[in-house]
A and B are shown apart, each in its own frame.
Chain A
Amino acid sequence: MWPSVAGVFSIGLSFCGRSESTITDFVARGAFLGKSFLWEWGLRLVLMQSNFLILYFMSSPLTVEEAKAQVDAQTREMISWHFSPETGCPYWLDWAKRAGWDPREKVQGFADLLHFDNFDDEVLRKEDPARFIPRAFEGRPYNVFETGGTTGMPKQRIGWDDYKTDYTEFSEHYGPDFFPQGANWLMVGPTGPRRLRMAIEHLANIRGGACYFIDLDPRWVKRLIGMGEMQMAKVYQEHVIDQAVTILRHRDIQCLFTTPRLLESLSLRMSLADAGIRGVFAGGTTMTPQYVKFIQEEVLEGKINYAPTYGNTLMGLAISKKREVGEYSLTYYAPQPRAILRVVSPDDPREVVGYGEYGRVELTTMTKEFFMPRFLERDEAIRRPECEEFPWDGVGDVRPFQSGSKAVIEGVY
């Protein structure tokens, strides 16, 4: 089920730096001027109802070539930022001294990042996070974020505004009604030292709502499972769901962020549609096409908007492209140019695999706050081509690295 009113339309305008009110005006004027005007702007007109335009997901204003040029420009700018003594951080400046080459000279475009080896994420456990503070940001208070369900010393990343940028863009992508404007949110999932907790609250706030939280500690769940305490893990999950059900029953909540598994557990207790939920944003685990079908048809009863995403503390948020009715395979697109996903050969991670083939997911993050070249994720995915909304490569049917059988048939969805 797709949104019923103006949706991702705003993403193209956000590149132009327009505000939400400007967008609303634009919709009105666009409607008045008619369909052809809208198509010029790459908007997709779905249907008209009660004299109100029904829109969702717009084409990107960029061509494939322009998107590539944008990434190359971002690469040059971020390399210059992170490897200049005036702006860079101690970690990368020291790295450049040891490496014996100056990235500012060798790296003139994204392809030149192959001069870097794959980023070793152990660095994020071993190094003091303060060594990643860009000189230009010295003195500004910062957040320390940790990655998900690890045990032992966690991986840490510092940040200032990146999460706001990512989630503002996500919000604009889905427009005012997919997640109703002004509605309150409930997040059921890992909070604690995670970026996600602040990101969801930011998302709720910029859309005019407040956010309630129910915490789930994935480290404790991992430990319980490691100890063979499956029953206790189940009891803990029930404890989390109990709290979520209580909030949903006693507060006005219309939007939900959670993991697919918790979402399903919630739906076993109550009809989410009857509880007033209008939009669900989920991520954090593998979602096969069947999983998506199941969530949409049975968990959400075909009545609730569903936004599956792929992301983590190191990347931000990759949005899944719109799907046709009966299409359940997910393809995610990184928030370029701030982060770039490639699907590379497990045997030679310098090379991307062909379209339609599985390979390992490689992430490069390039913002002023954080630089991480060519990190090999513990996931594999199908390399998918650009689409109307995102003129760059996507990653499809993401699953844990080397977990799958090659016998999964593509194209039956």
Chain B
Amino acid sequence: MEIPILRLGEVYESADVVELNEKVATHTANPGLIRRDLLRVAEAKAALDAIPAENLADYCEAAAELFMNADLPCGDVLQGPDDYVESLSALTRLPHTLVRMNMGKIHAAMSQIRTVIGGLTRGMSLEIFDQGMTQVGDLAVNYYPVTSSLGVSLPSNAPAVNSLWLPALVMKIPVLLKPGREDPFTPLRIVQAMIQAGFPKEAFGYYPTTHEGGDTLLTSCGAGIAFGSDVTVRKYAPFPKIQVHGTGRSKVLIGEDYIDRWEEFIDVLVTSISANGGRSCINTSAILVPSHGEEIAEALAASLAEIRPLARDDADALLCGFANPAMAEGIDGMIESLLKEGGARDVTAAFRGGERKVEAFDQTYLCPTLVSCEGREHALANTEFMFPYASVVEMPQEEMLGSIGETLVVSAFTEDQSWIKELMLSPDIERLNIGAFPTNRVQWEQPHEGNLFEFLYHRRAIQGDLSGFS
């Protein structure tokens, strides 16, 4: 299967072809191709502008079903949903179960696009994208697009993050996508589903490309979204028009009012750490508790150690293999080296009865790891890895908020109103769950990390005779 480039909807075959495995190769775009296509992006914008946003939302809902069930073009073949699952699993080493779970998340984002956009616009009518004006109560509001293109550099490890750029199309902003190296399938399948459902093909650029190509896409579009590590965050820090989804360092904070009930929360915590193979930025990577630290660590470790490597197509598989075994080796080595510094203990080691790094089913796995740290300063206490990993640290509740640092998701297990108020005012938390919820809980009407609508549209003061608008 050869996956082509889509240049504003038109198939383009590159002279640089990269073989991803024995079955799949991608045509690679040079950065200049992207720059040149951006000269024509006004055509793509015009094609979207010609369709009412209500219709685009209808198309998106229809596309959800096509994405889930249809045979869709994937390079030189038609790819059905089962082929998609196996192809993606083979490249990313995500088990079939997790690929299907991610499919479900994308389907939900597409089929609930009105809810999603309503959450981003705080309930404004979709007409805001047709005429820039709408009424909010008695107030006329005017929003205008600040860009005519959105560039997105996608990761390989989390297919569901594709749901983040979907609303842009209904908001009438063309998207230029750089797929992650190991996941060329998901964004292409979404694009093909949307085109088949009625979106104009010119609205989509799809460019398997190099790092330089990714930089070009992000810096040349009027707005960009990137996913990556702290290094990615630092790299794009000078570019205010690039929104970076970096390391999540998501955390569970258990309050003093809940801590004596800790045994009730073990299942939620295990899910929070290990869902989606522990690969997401919304997986819990640290648990802060005011007491019972060792007991909680032991109980969690015992449960996590039961999650064993299984074959990719096993219906019970929860762990992902590593497409690049060297990465697994590097992570394993880093954890071992940090453990040797003292002040932290791999509690899971005693339960799993073997090494963390395991070769099985023709791939490399890292088994779930729970580390008990003596203090927040330990390097293993506030880090994130691409497998089910978390630390447990005991500290007074009043010190927790001051020590979490930038955190994507906090689940605060508490009903303490004064602490909840402090949490709600914290600038360090991007998403906040109040109650015993896993950090990976998603509500479609809430923005994920940053608000895409506010990123793509700005509000303008509007006064005077607006009688022409109803």
Mark out the residues of chain A between 292 and 334 whose CB falls within 8 Å of any chain B CB in the assembled complex: 292-295, 298-299, 328-329
Cβ-defined contact, A409 with B30, below 8 A: no
Query: Is A180 on the interface with B (CB-CB < 8 A)?
Result: no
A207 to B386 alpha-carbon distance, docked (Å): 61
A289 to B27 alpha-carbon distance, docked (Å): 12
Query: Is B20 on the interface with A (CB-CB < 8 A)?
Result: yes
Query: Is B396 on the interface with A (CB-CB < 8 A)?
Result: no
A268 to B239 alpha-carbon distance, docked (Å): 23
CB contacts (< 8 Å) of A409 on chain B: these are 17-19, 25
Main secondary structure of the interface of A (DSSP, over half): helix
Query: Is B15 on the interface with A (CB-CB < 8 A)?
Result: yes
Closest to A261 in B: B32
Minimum distance in angstroms from A265 CB to a CB of chain B: 9
Q: Count of A residues near B, CB < 8 Å?
A: 24
Interface 1/0 per residue, A200-241 and B, CB below 8 Å: 000000000000000000000000000011110000000000
CB contacts (< 8 Å) of B32 on chain A: these are 264, 291, 294-295, 298-299
Interface 1/0 per residue, B1-22 and A, CB below 8 Å: 0000000000000111111100
A288 to B219 alpha-carbon distance, docked (Å): 22
Interface 1/0 per residue, B221-250 and A, CB below 8 Å: 000000000000000001100000000000
Cβ-defined contact, A405 with B39, below 8 A: no
Question: Which has the most chain A C-beta neighbours within 10 Å: B14, B18, B28, B29?
Answer: B14
Cβ-defined contact, A268 with B219, below 8 A: no
Query: Is B23 on the interface with A (CB-CB < 8 A)?
Result: no
Query: Is B33 on the interface with A (CB-CB < 8 A)?
Result: yes
Query: Is B378 on the interface with A (CB-CB < 8 A)?
Result: no
A230 to B25 alpha-carbon distance, docked (Å): 32
Query: Is B35 on the interface with A (CB-CB < 8 A)?
Result: yes
Minimum distance in angstroms from B430 CB to a CB of chain A: 25
From the candidates A229, A264, A290, name the one contacting B16 in the complex (CB within 8 A). Answer: A290
From the candidates A228, A229, A231, A294, name the one contacting B30 in the complex (CB within 8 A). Answer: A294
Query: Is A413 on the interface with B (CB-CB < 8 A)?
Result: yes
Minimum distance in angstroms from B17 CB to a CB of chain A: 5
A408-B18 contact, Cβ under 8 Å, with A288-B30, A291-B30, A294-B30? yes
CB contacts (< 8 Å) of B35 on chain A: these are 264, 268
A289-B15 contact, Cβ under 8 Å, with A231-B238, A264-B35, A294-B32? yes
Query: Is B421 on the interface with A (CB-CB < 8 A)?
Result: no
CB contacts (< 8 Å) of B17 on chain A: these are 408-409, 412
A229 to B14 alpha-carbon distance, docked (Å): 32
Cβ-defined contact, B19 with A288, below 8 A: no
Query: Is B36 on the interface with A (CB-CB < 8 A)?
Result: yes
Query: Is A407 on the interface with B (CB-CB < 8 A)?
Result: yes
Closest to B27 in A: A290
A290-B14 contact, Cβ under 8 Å, with A231-B238, A407-B19? yes
Closest to A260 in B: B32
CB contacts (< 8 Å) of A268 on chain B: these are 35-36, 39
Cβ-defined contact, A412 with B238, below 8 A: no
A413-B18 contact, Cβ under 8 Å, with A268-B36, A290-B28, A291-B32? no
A412 to B14 alpha-carbon distance, docked (Å): 10
CB contacts (< 8 Å) of B18 on chain A: these are 405, 407-409
CB contacts (< 8 Å) of B239 on chain A: these are 230
Minimum distance in angstroms from B38 CB to a CB of chain A: 9
A292 to B33 alpha-carbon distance, docked (Å): 12
Closest to B215 in A: A230
Cβ-defined contact, B16 with A408, below 8 A: yes
A293 to B30 alpha-carbon distance, docked (Å): 10
A291 to B209 alpha-carbon distance, docked (Å): 12
Mark out the residues of chain B between 195 and 220 whose CB falls within 8 Å of any chain A CB in the assembled complex: 219
Cβ-defined contact, A293 with B15, below 8 A: yes
CB contacts (< 8 Å) of B14 on chain A: these are 290, 293
A407 to B210 alpha-carbon distance, docked (Å): 13
Minimum distance in angstroms from A326 CB to a CB of chain B: 9
Cβ-defined contact, A290 with B238, below 8 A: no
A289 to B20 alpha-carbon distance, docked (Å): 18
CB contacts (< 8 Å) of B16 on chain A: these are 288-291, 408
CB contacts (< 8 Å) of B19 on chain A: these are 407-409
Cβ-defined contact, B238 with A230, below 8 A: yes
A409 to B20 alpha-carbon distance, docked (Å): 10
Cβ-defined contact, B15 with A290, below 8 A: yes
CB contacts (< 8 Å) of A298 on chain B: these are 32-33, 36
Cβ-defined contact, B36 with A230, below 8 A: no
CB contacts (< 8 Å) of B238 on chain A: these are 228-231
From the candidates B15, B29, B39, B219, name the one contacting A413 in the complex (CB within 8 A). Answer: B15
Cβ-defined contact, B33 with A294, below 8 A: yes
Question: Which has the most chain A C-beta neighbours within 10 Å: B29, B33, B39?
Answer: B33
Minimum distance in angstroms from A9 CB to a CB of chain B: 29
Question: Which has the most chain A C-beta neighbours within 10 Å: B17, B18, B36, B239?
Answer: B17
Interface residues of A (CB under 8 A from B): 228-231, 264, 268, 288-295, 298-299, 328-329, 405, 407-409, 412-413
Q: What would 13 A/B residue contacts be, using CB atoms closer than 8 Å?
A: A230-B238, A230-B239, A268-B39, A288-B15, A288-B30, A290-B28, A298-B33, A298-B36, A407-B20, A408-B19, A409-B25, A412-B15, A413-B15
3 smallest beta-carbon distances between A and B, as pairs? A289-B15, A290-B16, A290-B15
12 further contact pairs, Cβ within 8 A, besides A288-B30, A412-B17: A231-B238, A268-B36, A268-B39, A289-B15, A290-B16, A290-B28, A294-B30, A298-B32, A298-B36, A407-B18, A407-B19, A409-B18
